[in-house]
Amino acid sequence: MSEQPPKQAPLHVGMIMDGNGRWAKARALPRLAGHRAGAETIRRILEACPGLGVHWLTLYAFSTENWRRPDDEVSGLMSLLDQFLRERRKDLDKQRIRLNAIGGLERIPEPARTRLFETMAATRHHDRGVLTLALNYGARSEIVAATRRLAEEVAAGRLRPDEITEERLSGALSTAGMPDPDLIIRTSGEMRLSNFLLWQASYAEFWCTPTLWPDFSCDEFRRAVEEFARRGRRFGGLANV
């Protein structure tokens, strides 16, 4: 990726990585082989981010609904998370990317949870990009938790109801301090948000592709970013023409 990033690059890209299971099924492989190939796609995509002008990359790695999958798939995904963190640590250091995580992290089983916190601590000073893994994440429960936090402030007399603003609610979410996503990419032909960053994605551009996540390439990522650069974002206003 030696080309220049597009002028209007999306600073923050969210990705709904879908289609690992179908990728595996098409090859008569176990579902976990699809997830393993999906983890390899993350490695490539992460490497491509700086060249595309993407500073923040947020990946929907495990949703609150994913616990409903068979036990062996869930435990396989958690082992894969641990392996991913172990293997990617040198890349995060080399690329100076900070690891961040959002979601109900207390439910992530060991040893993945400890490795997650260790990797976040070890990379906290990296300044060339931020990789956020959404793990045991669900946007509705995130919004409920934020609302509850603000309600507690009101009940304690530290906050007046009229002081509850969009900014304050944003600041009570797990993404506090992060810019809202500019672009959300979903693979495998599905066109849903599936409880991912519902509040934060209010003005995000969407880009959907039939490509299954394990086959999602850096070339396709570049095409998505270039198309984003061509779209006129008006945020409810009028086009600048």
So which residues are the catalytic ones? 18, 66
Angle, helices 71-95 vs 31-52, to 10°: value is: 20
The H or E element that residue 179 is part of is: none
Tell me the sheet residues that pair with 206: 184
Residue with smallest beta-carbon separation from ligand FPP: 21
- The CA distance from 102 to 132, in Å, is 7
CA distance 23 to 224: 21
Say if residues 209 and 185 touch (Cβ distance below 8 Å).
yes
DSSP letter for each residue of 139-160: HHHHHHHHHHHHHHHHHTTSS-
Taking the complex as a whole, the smallest distance from the CB of residue 221 to ligand FPP amounts, in Å, to: 14
Indicate the residue among 133 and 146 with the shorter CB distance to ligand FPP: 133
Q: Any contact of residue 22 with ligand FPP (CB under 6 A)?
A: yes
> Does residue number 81 form part of the binding site for ligand FPP (CB under 6 A)?
yes
- Rounded least distance, CB 42 to ligand FPP, Å: 6
Smallest distance, Å, CB 125 to ligand FPP? 22
**What are the contacts of 165-172 at 24+ separation with CB within 8 A?**
169/143, 169/199, 170/199, 170/200, 172/145, 172/146, 172/147
Tell me, by CB under 6 A, how many residues bind ligand FPP: 18
Tell me, rounded to whole angstroms, the distance of Cα 148 from its chain centroid. Answer: 24
Give me the least distance between CB of 157 and ligand FPP, in Å please.
42
Is 120 a binder of ligand FPP (CB under 6 A)? no
Judged by CB under 6 A, which of 20, 100, 174, 175 binds ligand FPP? 20
Query: Which residue, 10 or 38, is less far from ligand FPP as judged by CB?
Result: 38
Q: Phi/psi of residue 73, each to 5°?
A: -70, -40
Residue 216 touches ligand FPP, criterion: CB under 6 A? no
Answer for which of 35, 55, 98, 186 binds ligand FPP (CB under 6 A) is 35
222: contact with ligand FPP by CB under 6 A? no
Residue 193 found at the interface with ligand FPP (CB under 6 A): no
- If 0-12 CB within 10 Å is exposed, 13-18 middle and 19+ buried, where does residue 161 land? exposed
148-187 residues in contact with ligand FPP (CB under 6 A) are: none
> Which stretches of the chain bind ligand FPP, using CB under 6 A?
17-22, 35, 38-39, 42, 61, 66, 80-81, 84, 133, 188, 213
